[in-house]
Structure 1
Amino acid sequence: MPDTAPPASRRYLLVSPCRNEAAYLRRTLDAVVAQTERPELWIVVDDGSTDETPAILADYAARHEWIRVVPKPDRGHRAVGPGVIEAFEAGLAAAPPLDGFDYLCKLDLDLDLPPAYFATLMDRLEADPRLGTCSGKPWYRTASGAWISEKCGDEASVGMTKFYRTSCFREIGGFVREVNWDSIDCHKARQLGWTARSWDDPEIRIEHLRPMGSSQRGIVSGRRRAGYAQYFMGTDPLYFTATALYRMTRPPYVIGGLAMLWGYGESWLAGKPRQKDAALIAFIRRYQRRALTVGKRRALEEVEARQAGLQGPGTP
């Protein structure tokens, strides 16, 4: 049953940064409570909420001893990227040492999850010793009720539910405090010999209650921010252009891809700083340029084969 302690070899820690999520919060809380294998501990960091979020969290924490709420002062606004990771790290700091957990997940509170979501991910991690991080795929519903895939690549776990083997998370050094942290981490894992995956299987399909790429100031602002995020990561310009052109075929049609190009281009023209890991930038660009010539699937297979000697069956 969900409130039964998990097996010793399948202990997982959830850490959830949140701010003003009253509109979605109960859906996620109920989905986690209903999991076939519940977390060992779930730390929810209330990042200065001013709506009903604190009262809802207090209610669930009172009923489930494995849910713990960590409050943070109100900074006055929602902060994507650095703010989210700052809140996540506050949750990690409030948790017992990671050595006590087999797995770690950064989980957003605007999701609905199938009942066997975490159990299925752990099964797949146990079956593949090189798999360092994984997730299902996010979908969302439009106002008309249409069911739309967010079309995330297979080579990364998605940012709203980053499920990690704790040994891999420690080796990559955690998440960077900047936008695109949720892509940089998977590239870093691959550089170190791990693999990262997401699957669009029904038993782990996620409903994203707030669509990816939107922002508190509108979806165009979110796409523009995504362009800056790719610039910060060090994405190859030609590869990014191809990505933005593809995004023009997804809602919001055309304008979303144009906003991404705007965000990347203005960052380049302004000479904004990029991430400081020059070796990782070179690693990312080699993969991206290869993907343009042979396709992402083959490029991924090649880079994973090349890095395979860095991790193996004996990896804890």
Structure 2
Amino acid sequence: MLMAFCSNRDRPDTTPLPLPRSTDRPMSRPRLCLITPCRDEASYARRTLDSVLNQTQPPDLWVIVDDGSTDETPEILDSYARVHPCIRVVRRADRGARKVGPGVIDAFYAGYEAIDPSEFDYVCKLDLDLDLPPRYFEILIDRMEADPRIGTCSGKPYFRQGDRLVSEKCGDENSVGMTKLYRRSCFEQVGGFVREVMWDGIDGHRCRMLGWVAASWDDPDLRFEHLRPMGTSHKGWWTGRSRHGFGQYFMGTAPSYMVASALFRMTRPPLVVGGLAMLSGYFGAMLRGLPRYDDPDFRRFLRSYQRHCLLRGKARTTEEYDHRSASRWSPDAPASSPVPGRSPS
């Protein structure tokens, strides 16, 4: 049973969590809700909590879903929630182990279902192992307010290597999974997140199919530190990169594009072995005949986009596809049904 804690009082899990009262924020200001799935993040939680609470545009509500932590994470969350009214903590039972991909999205939806989405203009899936620059949300929301076609966006992740920060080299054509800010209407239109490993790739392509723009920017004021580098996994680099390869297979990526992507990743830490792990995950799933994302229209769109990326470059291709899809953009279109998870193809 889910339990939400607000000012140390239990709240039924069927009741949407209310917005904290505030007298110092104008009513016209865009309303932001963060939803953070987490498990065993005691090593990083305080840095993330402090960096979010010190934002120039802090969240109106921050729902943190503790997905069965066994370390000090629950105590840390409770100590912050007692002091900061915008924080609400949702508890989930311990499943026995960290479960990335579908497990993370299950936890995200435990938070999303605890709010009334109509109360918010923007919703962000945010991890608890990040250190955000102070104007992060202010800058992103300003850009989205200036361009109504931007459906989802983010800054860029960096990880620390000795005394310097190194880019994780994420593409500009989508928001990154660890901090995925969404216009709430766009999130509803694309049907939300797939409950599978490549949820944070599928969503951006679905945005583009419907005429929305998905983007991330490497501006100095939008660079954030990823305290647990992408693809490392709690079980090591090989597991994390292999999982990414499987995710590309599930999404429907063509073999030629997968090979090109893996070759590029071989130039990033861990050198060579990271790309080999991606190929192992992708072709291992192919040889076992594992299920793929069951949406033929999506797969055709994806492979056409990837083919053009190989021939013309990703930046030029993304610009052309965004331009072509503008006629399909309908911001008031009804919400889609929830997108499927693992389905036979």
TM range (shorter): over 0.9
Task: Give 1:94's aligned amino acid.
Answer: A
| 2:78 alignment partner, one of 51, 58, 65 | 58
| 1:69 alignment partner, one of 89, 98, 102 | 89
Answer yes or no: is 1:252 the counterpart of 2:235. Answer: no
Conservation of the 8 A alpha-carbon contact between 2:186 and 2:331: no
Aligned to 1:306: 324
Instruction: Provide the aligned length of Structure 1 versus Structure 2.
Output: 313
Q: Residues 61 and 259 from structure 1, CA distance in 2 versus in 1: closer, same or farther, beyond 3 angstroms?
A: same
**Runs of 4+ deviating beyond 2 Å:** 2-9, 312-316
C-alpha distance in structure 1 between counterparts of 2:143 and 2:230, whole Å: 25
Answer yes or no: is 1:135 the counterpart of 2:169. Answer: no
TM-score, scaled to structure 2: 0.88
Give the C-alpha shift of residue 217 in structure 1: 1.1
Give the C-alpha shift of residue 305 in structure 1: 1.5
| 1:103 alignment partner, one of 119, 122, 136 | 122
Aligned to 1:43: 63
Q: Residues 178 and 42 from structure 1, CA distance in 2 versus in 1: closer, same or farther, beyond 3 angstroms?
A: same
| 1:90 alignment partner, one of 94, 104, 110 | 110
Aligned to 2:14: none
Counterparts of 1:273-288 in structure 2 under 5 Å? 273-288=291-306
Conservation of the 8 A alpha-carbon contact between 1:135 and 1:198: yes
Aligned to 1:208: 226
C-alpha distance in structure 1 between counterparts of 2:132 and 2:333, whole Å: 29
Conservation of the 8 A alpha-carbon contact between 1:6 and 1:37: no
Aligned to 1:293: 311
Which string of whole-angstrom CA distances, capped at 9 and with x for unpartnered residues, describes residues 136-163 of structure 1?
0000102x22311000000000000000
Task: Give 1:173's aligned amino acid.
Answer: G
Conservation of the 8 A alpha-carbon contact between 1:244 and 1:258: yes
Counterparts of 1:186-201 in structure 2 under 5 Å? 186-201=204-219
Which string of whole-angstrom CA distances, capped at 9 and with x for unpartnered residues, describes residues 262-283 of structure 1?
1101100111000111111110
SS at match of 1:83: helix
Q: Residues 206 and 313 from structure 1, CA distance in 2 versus in 1: closer, same or farther, beyond 3 angstroms?
A: same
Answer yes or no: is 1:13 the counterpart of 2:43. Answer: no
Ranges in structure 1 where 5+ consecutive residues have no aligned partner: none
Conservation of the 8 A alpha-carbon contact between 1:136 and 1:206: yes
Counterparts of 1:215-226 in structure 2 under 5 Å? 215-226=233-244
Give the C-alpha shift of residue 302 in structure 1: 1.7
C-alpha distance in structure 2 between counterparts of 1:111 and 1:248, whole Å: 25
Which string of whole-angstrom CA distances, capped at 9 and with x for unpartnered residues, describes residues 82-138 of structure 1?
00000000001111x211100000000000001111011100001111100000000
C-alpha distance in structure 1 between counterparts of 2:101 and 2:138, whole Å: 28
Answer yes or no: is 1:173 the counterpart of 2:191. Answer: yes
C-alpha distance in structure 1 between counterparts of 2:27 and 2:333, whole Å: 20
Answer yes or no: is 1:34 the counterpart of 2:34. Answer: no
Task: Give 1:274's aligned amino acid.
Answer: R
Ranges in structure 2 where 5+ consecutive residues have no aligned partner: 1-21, 335-345
Conservation of the 8 A alpha-carbon contact between 1:130 and 1:312: no
Which string of whole-angstrom CA distances, capped at 9 and with x for unpartnered residues, describes residues 222-272 of structure 1?
101110000000001101100000000000000100110011011001110
SS at match of 2:76: helix
Aligned to 1:237: 255
SS at match of 1:50: coil
C-alpha distance in structure 2 between counterparts of 1:155 and 1:6, whole Å: 33
SS at match of 1:10: coil
